[in-house]
Amino acid sequence: MKITSAFDSGAIEVLSLDDPANIRLRLRKDNAADFHQWFHFRLTGAAGLPLRMVFENAATAAYADGWHGYRCVASYDRQNWFRIEGTRYHDGQLVVEHVPERDSVFYAYFEPYSYERHLDLVARAERSPQVRLRNLGLTVEGRDLDLVTVGGDAPGRMPVWIIARQHPGETMAEWFVEGLLERLLDPADPVARKLRAQAVLHIVPNMNPDGAVRGNLRTNAAGRNLNREWRAPDPVASPEVFLVRAEMERTGCGLFLDIHGDETLPYVFFSTAEEVPGFTAAAATAQARFIEAFLAASPDFQTTEGYKPGRFGEELLTLASKWVANHFGCVSLTLEMPFKDNALLPDEAVGWNGARSKRLGAAMLDPILRHVATCSQPTLDSAILQETNT
């Protein structure tokens, strides 16, 4: 019996593997910071054996409250991931009990989204004549920071910015972007066609590829939490934010969405902008209209549960969506998805997963179109005709 994690997003520390009924593990910290909660590893040679895996330092994880009601995910083929019912948090330890059916099984905190899949996603997107793929620059470790731009720079088109995975362990965020891009680039989808005709969408599928490959929970390779870097990004320690923010200054921003996952709350919700200095009545009306449209587009989304006011305190304007709301004065929201399940529409087999995140991403096109159509004035017919002819 062996445990390995020397692969893309792999992360675990093995303390003892002598007894299948008492496997002792530790959650590994981010490479340059103390955050720990993400895990992803492969266990081999244990088909049919009753396993009891104990994560000894679960109580000191970044969001220990998130273990309550959490169920580990597992896969035999790395394509189909399921939840392990025998998961519980007890006396400060996360305990996972499972009898694997095969000799090779992968366990993870949430369904992974590999860097190879990221590269496939942006390459697939670039095949569309509607897409321009750009490398904004390099990350701390020299990886490409990819920007997918959909739609041209014709006058009057609203610039829409969507970024994902500032926190690399929140893999549901890139699953969301995959679903959004697939629908947005569908030549037969009428919502996508109309949106492409009226807006230019700038999409960063993975803000933190270094952290993603390393198996970090929240930070980049330099140990920076990118979603606390927006007020004054360091071009050396947080080039990912520095580069994206500079491009946003060039293009302008009429709508901003920052896609995340929340370890604790079993809901899909927005973190909104009411606390941002300069938040106006007009901004409140536009934000409410966007939220209403998303409620209509997806029953997975709700507005009852979410973050309490004052959560971010003095850090407020270091967060992406809060800085953008203050700087550009546009609708600017952080979307949170659960690591566990959606309590409104639970799925016992898979909980919240990649496929559900993709569907939510596809549904986001509807409120984006409503926002763009409400706030923009250009006539669409000629733009749609031009796209059809090209």
Half-sphere exposure in the Cβ direction for 91 (13 Å, CA): 3
Report how far residue 165's alpha carbon sits from residue 267's, in angstroms, rounded to the nearest whole number.
Answer: 18
How many other β-carbons are positioned within 10 Å of the β-carbon of residue 116? Answer: 10
Q: What is the DSSP secondary structure assignment for residue 301, as one 8-state letter? A: B
292 included as an active-site residue: no
Cβ-Cβ contacts under 8 Å for 249 (sequence gap 6 or more): none
Structure tokens at 208: 């933190």
* First CA to last CA distance, the chain: 57
Q: Which residue has the tokens 């970090």?
A: 216
Stretch (H or E) spanning 285: helix 281-297
Tell me the three state secondary structure of residue 373. helix
Task: Specify the DSSP class assigned to residue 21.
Answer: G
Of 174, 263, 336, 387, the catalytic one is 336
Question: What is the DSSP secondary-structure string of 30-94?
Answer: PTTSS-----EEEEES-TT--EEEEETTGGGSTTGGGGTT---EEESSSSS-EE-SSEEEETTEE
> How far, in Å, CA of 226 to CA of 292, rounded?
29
The H or E element spanning position 219 is none
Distance CA 58, CA 93 (A): 5
- Token readout for 94 is 């996360």
Residue 149 DSSP SS3: strand
Sheet holding 51-55, edge to edge: 13-16, 23-26, 51-55, 93-98, 87-90
What is the secondary structure of 107-160 as a DSSP string?
EESS----HHHHHHHHHHHHTSTTEEEEEEEE-TTS-EEEEEEES---TTPEEE
Catalytic residues: 336
